[in-house]
Structure 1
Amino acid sequence: MEVFEFLVSVLRSGQLYLIFTISYILSVIVLALYVILMLPMFLVNHVYVYKTINWIGFMSLYHTAMTCNYAWKCVYMNDPPKDSKKKGRVYMFNHLSAADPMVVSGLGLKVPLVYTYKDSVNKIPTVGPVMKFVGHHAIKFKYDKKNDRKVAVPESVKSLMQKCKVDVDNGFNIVVYPEGKRSRDGRLGEFKDGFFRFAIEHDVEILPCAISNSEKLWPMKTKFLIGKGVAYVNTGKPISPKGKTIEELKHVTRKAIYELIKQCPTFNPEVESVPELEQN
């Protein structure tokens, strides 16, 4: 039975990679043609052109991962705030799986989104330039020998924050995983300061969002083989940073995301409960 399941997983994964390859090539061609045709408009309203390019990218990603791929489905439990096409916010998600960017991509069809991601993704041929062209931002990391872990390069973080400020001012929403890494046990981890400081310094609202069951789509233990399942995305209400310290904003946001996770039908209290967040 295990051998059969392994073979099914190999075929399932091979199909997805093939679909992604074809979709990627077609998307690059479409984007190139669009830019050529819209060059005059770019000189008049470059933000409009960038938002359309951004939408094309998310349309390709979503339909490749969720429509053409029989193994994955995603249910969006509600819509982002109606003003999200004009008012930029920081969308904060819990992080469970490598499939999370694809799960979130459905929101990119409704509002302009910008991803922040590790620069290791740029090692994939041609992906780096395309990600940059579509409007997403890479964060450079270096190995810290003393603590035996990878850490973000300060100059890269500073540059990222500057770019994100411009994006927010232009009506883009920044997608962030404040845990900084995928959860290994399914529980919502502690948050890093970065974008909470950004929100306070620039008076940018945070939109708490929850992802549930995406670990079934792409289990952490399988590096290249995908799984099968239904993920859920639950978006909450905007949180204002006004009058809050970084720690207060982190707690309020983490509590809000946790409550959104609990509302998802796939929530497993035995695995995902966080005792300190159960307290008011």
Structure 2
Amino acid sequence: MLWLFSVLFWAFIVLTCPIFFVGAVLVWLVTLPFDRRRVALHLYSSAWASFYVYICPLWRLRVLHRDRLPWHGPAVFVANHASLIDILVLFALFRPFKFVSKQEIFKVPVIGWNMRLNRYVPVVRGSGASVRRMMELCDQHLEAGSPLMIFPEGTRTTDGELRSFKDGAFQLAVRHNVPVYPIVVHGTRRALPRQGFILRDHIKARVEVLPPLQPSDFSDVYALRDATRDAIASGLTTT
């Protein structure tokens, strides 16, 4: 019966997203004159995304050490990526970050419109020009005081194993001398693997914020990158 539940759940999301989007537009219009970083809109979007996580009877989510994340000031948040559900559960951190996401999601009706309102950062994988533009936009957000949320693997894992990390997130952290916060997302792949949209059995997902890493403590970008990956890999082995 999971296939029937999955159909009903996705249908519920499709039907309610336009309603939430109307609210997003209202928040955007009201706060536009004084909220340049669109913090209020992002927090509204966080509540919108989290709503679907917490109402799903198959999912249970724990967020650990959320208090480690700053409310103000630039930083780079990096998380492993195993499922589309990762995006929903990371919104449950309720911090005013800017997501870096593949361009295709920005083309999805309603969801993509909201991402553009929030000034999240699109990137086309494999396009050098797009990556350069992405880095420019990330530079601007960090200079304005907004944290970034980046999946350094670049795409979802295909087999559950942590992939190698790309350098971009760590180049940004070093260039702006801002902390990197490793974030472990555990259990989401069991809920919704990369292939298909049929939800699996009951899962207990966990999002855990690890202690920050300071660029000044490492010799170069690559050492910072490898230390971050090691921290997340270690976090994934714990239950």
Distance in 2, matches of 1:36 and 1:118, equals 26
- 5 Å-filtered alignment, 1:22-41, equals 22-39=15-32
Are residues 121 and 37 of structure 1, via their aligned partners in 2, closer, same or farther at CA, if it must alter by over 3 Å? Answer: closer
TM-score normalised per structure 2: 0.91
Distance 1:96 1:137 in 2: 20
1:98 paired residue number: 84
* Number of aligned residue pairs: 237
Counterpart in 2 of 1:72? 59
Amino acid paired to 1:239: L
Distance change in 2, residues 1:92/1:80 (3 Å): farther
Note the C-alpha offset of 1:238. Answer: 0.9
1:120-159 matched pairs, under 5 angstroms: 120-141=104-125, 151=126, 153-159=127-133
Relative to structure 1, the CA distance from residue 36 to residue 191 in structure 2 (aligned partners, 3 Å threshold; closer, same or farther) is closer
Within the alignment, does 1:261 sit opposite 2:236 as a pair?
Answer: yes
Matching of residue 201 in structure 1 with residue 154 in structure 2: no
Runs of 4+ in structure 1 off by over 3 angstroms are: 35-39
**Structure 1 residues 140, 183: CA separation in 2 closer, same or farther (over 3 Å shift)?**
closer
Q: C-alpha distance in 2, partners of 1:217/1:254?
A: 23
Larger Rg: 1 or 2?
1
Partner-residue secondary structure (3-state), 1:100: helix
CA apart distance, 1:100: 0.8
Q: In structure 2, what is the Cα distance between the partners aligned to 1:32 and 1:178?
A: 30
Q: Which residue type is aligned with residue 30 of structure 1?
A: G
Higher relative contact order (CA 8 A, sep 6+): 2
Deviations for 1:197-225, whole angstroms, at most 9, x for unmatched residues?
A: 1211221211011111111110223x222
**CA distance 1:135–1:72, shift in 2 (3 Å):** farther
Q: d(CA) in 2 for partners of 1:248 and 1:36? A: 43
Q: How does 1:162-173 map to 2 (within 5 A)?
A: 162-173=136-147
Asked if structure 2 preserves the Cα contact closer than 8 Å seen for 1:23 and 1:60, the reply is no
User: What is the TM-score normalised by the length of structure 1?
Assistant: 0.78
Return the offset for 1:54: 0.7
Kindly report the root-mean-square deviation, in angstroms, between the aligned alpha carbons of the 2 structures: 1.9
What percent identity do the matched residue pairs reach?
21
Measure how far apart 1:56 and its partner are: 0.5
Gaps of at least 5 residues in structure 1 are 1-7, 142-150, 266-280
Task: Say whether the 8 Å CA contact 1:85–1:172 is kept in structure 2.
Answer: no
Query: Offset at 1:235?
Result: 0.8
